[in-house]
């Protein structure tokens, strides 16, 4: 399968952002847009690119078509997860492999949940699925509230381009990062899970003994299970 890459918050054409952090990196909107586009085109030919929202801001149709034509030339398969700034974009006649609000994928047996917004609980988070997201910008109001340390411990990563030298993350880079993170707070460890109902004949406990059911909720046995 072709190599997968992930990023969010390109904000091509979004001049307001040049008043903040991005304005300290780039001297103009043109340099900003060209640098990000060139970094995408540097991906291996035939790559899968997942953009987790906020691709353009007030790009006209001609600018959009030129951007997509460059990606097609490199045979890059583009998958878009819509962000709050993508609602006004007319995607008609645009070649994109998929457009969705959120998406669950699996790479090398690793479940990954994709959404523009950070989420504390998501599809298969209780099985240590990864969460990739964007939306939160470097030193914006949410960032200043120390959101990552307070609410989003576990297998989660903000793939905003601002946090990765304005380049997409590869799957291997994300895997290395996730190996340093704690387990998701809602992880259900399989060894502590009671068998499913049809397996109760293989399981017994004493009345009054606490156990964890398959959904992860602690319960107390009223009658012995034989």
pLDDT in tens, 5-63: 999 999 998 888 888 888 999 999 999 999 999 999 999 999 999 999 998 887 777 88
Q: How far apart are alpha carbons 26 and 140 in whole angstroms?
A: 18
Residue 146 has pLDDT above 80, yes or no: no
**Domains of the chain with CATH codes:** 4-178 (3.60.21.10), 190-220 (no CATH)
Residue whose C-alpha is closest to residue 13's, from 51, 66, 59, 45: 59
For residue 189, the model assigns a pLDDT of 81
**Please, are residues 168 and 43 in contact by the beta-carbon 8 Å criterion?**
yes
Taking 90 as the threshold, does the pLDDT of residue 110 lie above it?
yes
pTM of the model: 0.79
pLDDT at 131 over 90: yes
What would the mean pLDDT of 116-145 be, rounded to a whole number? Answer: 83
pLDDT at 216: 46
CA end-to-end span of the chain: 47
Which pLDDT score, from 0 to 100, does residue 153 have? 78
**Is the pLDDT at 222 greater than 60, yes or no?**
no
Q: Is the pLDDT of residue 81 over 80?
A: yes
Q: How many CB atoms are closer than 10 A to CB 8? A: 29
Summarised one tens digit per residue, pLDDT across range 148-163 is 555 567 999 999 999 9
What pLDDT score does 1 carry?
58
Q: Choose among 80, 192, 194: nearest CA to 183.
A: 192
What is the per-residue pLDDT for 45?
95
Q: Quick one: pLDDT at residue 85? A: 73
Has residue 217 got a pLDDT over 70?
no
Which residue do the tokens 């990765």 mark? 164
Where residue 142 falls among pLDDT bands split at 50, 70, 90? Answer: low
CA distance linking residue 151 with residue 158, whole number of Å: 13
Lowest mean pLDDT among 50-54, 91-95, 219-223: 219-223
In the prediction, which pLDDT does 203 show? 45
């Amino acid at each position: 399968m072709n190599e997968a890459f992930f990023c969010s918050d390109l904000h091509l054409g979004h001049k307001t952002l040049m008043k903040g952090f991005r304005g300290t990196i780039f001297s103009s909107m043109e340099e900003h847009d060209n640098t990000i586009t060139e970094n995408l085109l540097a991906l291996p030919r035939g790559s899968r690119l997942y953009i987790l929202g906020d691709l353009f801001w007030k790009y006209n149709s001609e600018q959009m078509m030129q951007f997509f034509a460059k990606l097609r030339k490199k045979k890059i398969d583009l998958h878009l997860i819509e962000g709050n700034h993508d609602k006004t974009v007319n995607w008609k006649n645009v070649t994109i492999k998929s457009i969705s609000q959120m998406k669950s994928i699996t790479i090398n047996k690793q479940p990954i949940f994709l959404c523009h917004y950070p989420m504390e609980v998501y599809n298969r988070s209780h099985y240590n699925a990864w969460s990739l997201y964007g939306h939160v910008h470097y030193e914006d109001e949410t960032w200043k509230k120390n959101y990552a340390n307070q609410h989003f411990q576990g297998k989660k990563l903000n793939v905003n381009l601002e946090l990765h030298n304005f380049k997409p993350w590869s799957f291997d880079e994300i895997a290395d990062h996730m190996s340093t993170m704690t387990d998701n707070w809602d992880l259900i460890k399989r060894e502590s899970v009671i068998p499913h109902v049809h397996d109760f004949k293989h399981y017994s406990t004493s009345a009054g003994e606490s156990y964890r059911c398959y959904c992860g909720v602690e319960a107390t046995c009223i009658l012995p299970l034989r």
